[in-house]
Structure 1
């Protein structure tokens, strides 16, 4: 019996290693950063980056489980999931508050919930606005020639969010909107995992955002998406963030 278990374990290790070698892609090096900047700017124009920059408030639901009210102008965000309701002041972390089942958390769990809310916000907002972030501080851009002869945009992040060092290879459609990207990120064990960018919506402020991503067998959805110039424009109480100003 022991020999059979050892055999099975060895077989699984070999299969896992084989799958890794087959699925894992090496991060392409890319070149021509000047041309990459030109392509990135064309993509941003197609997505109306100017409208995104002037958008003050965004509300949305990520995969039906995480709910957000983001006051981008004043750098505050509400993150709701399960029984938790966390308010983050992105300028002054000590003002952030957390509630669970309607009761305010004031003990050591406060920092735990604020940290988790921050990680959720970073991940979920990136799935919504990643194309707008290709010129963020610490991002380098290069051109990668694809197998079919087209050009893809490689964006590598040396800072920002919770996983600096990640890279994304953007594939653009004929209208210059992203249709997919491949990822080289710390949270995934293999490089080159592909996700689609589909179901584009022109929001109330004119910003254009993809609402569906197919990632292998998983579908990532962005629902109840609305943008506005203030909280009342997205049907949110204007005093929502007063407690953490």
Structure 2
């Protein structure tokens, strides 16, 4: 029994050593410091050009955006009502984005009254909506209240660094948007609290016009893996 325990312990230590080594290699290869640029008018002018390129005004006029994330969470977001219905398993939460405390939770079609299960369902809806909606409409959030912007110039190209100082689930996160010659986003590098490496890149591509009169990226990849957004639909 002692031999088996020692073998398991050695195996665990070897595995931990491999994982630590892999993390250090990744940190050396991928980790970047957040760049510093110019804030104020130059950064905001670039932000407005990006918003114009993705028809942000049409986005603000849309009635609903629907999508599914990871094949688990399904969303019916009613933008003009500041409300999103979040569906998963046997739950549905009518989440009020501006006044979360007024949100309503259901299980198997029955309304959940005040209590731990209701609170957990609303917290789940809020956390997942904040994350999952970002992967759908992030470029439209570059001028949100609680954001700061910096114009970054590198290799003769302009990039926009957006930092979320408040709001959402992880305030303090930063995204460095890369754009093409028409100011349409092509991807970003991120410095976020849930990832211990700085400057990890995600690509945004296959932009297609929606029924709402504004384009959305239909393909987002991260570490070479496609972000699982499906059934994306806009109701004008």
TM-score (norm 2): 0.87
Match of 1:208 among 201, 207, 215: 215
Q: Matched residues in 2 for 1:60 and 1:151: separation?
A: 31
Unaligned runs of 5+ in 1: 230-245
What is the aligned partner in structure 2 of residue 56 from structure 1?
Answer: 63
Counterparts in 2 of 1:61 and 1:10: CA distance versus 1, 3 Å: closer
Q: Matched residues in 1 for 2:151 and 2:203: separation?
A: 19
Q: How does 1:68-87 map to 2 (within 5 A)?
A: 68-87=75-94
Q: Matched residues in 2 for 1:10 and 1:179: separation?
A: 37
Query: Which contiguous aligned blocks of 4+ residues in structure 1 show a shift greater than 6 angstroms?
Result: none
Deviation at 1:109, TM superposition (A): 0.7
TM-score (norm 1): 0.84
Deviation at 1:115, TM superposition (A): 0.5
Unaligned runs of 5+ in 2: 1-5
Counterparts in 2 of 1:200 and 1:221: CA distance versus 1, 3 Å: farther
What is the aligned partner in structure 2 of residue 119 from structure 1?
Answer: 127
What is the aligned partner in structure 1 of residue 144 from structure 2?
Answer: 136
Counterparts in 2 of 1:10 and 1:77: CA distance versus 1, 3 Å: closer
Q: How does 1:86-105 map to 2 (within 5 A)?
A: 86-105=93-112
Counterparts in 2 of 1:4 and 1:65: CA distance versus 1, 3 Å: closer
Match of 2:232 among 207, 225, 231: 225
* Alignment size in residue pairs: 228
